[in-house]
Amino acid sequence: MTELLSTETRGPLLDPLFQTGWTMVEGRDAITKTFTFKNFVQAFGWMTQVAIFAEKWNHHPEWFNIYNRVEVTLSTHDVGGLSALDAKLARKMDSLV
């Protein structure tokens, strides 16, 4: 079962993500990042790749796409905040760019 990140695990899991442009969402236990691509096709292709992993891991992002930009927010609704699944999906998203 997925659980809320503890104080001890937050740093090791989240600090590397903050170095790649992820930030905390103000007023919410969630992380966010905006990905910018060359064009709509590249943005949509990236979203399709991410969707395959999200479905496989049963962990789906909140995202918003306009042309070449995808704004992503990650949080685990079942636990009311950030979990290891959020960090895992964020790392995957970064690796697919």
**Per-residue model confidence (pLDDT) at position 3:** 94
For the whole model, what pTM was predicted? 0.94
Give yes or no for a contact between 5 and 15, defined as CB atoms under 8 angstroms apart. no
pLDDT in tens, 24-67: 999 999 999 999 999 999 999 999 999 999 999 999 999 999 99
Arithmetic mean of pLDDT over the chain: 97
- Rounded Cα gap, residues 9 and 57, in angstroms: 20
- Rounded Cα gap, residues 36 and 58, in angstroms: 25
Q: Does domain 7-95 have CATH number 3.20.10.10?
A: no
Q: What percent of the chain has pLDDT over 70?
A: 99
Q: Is the pLDDT of residue 2 over 90?
A: no
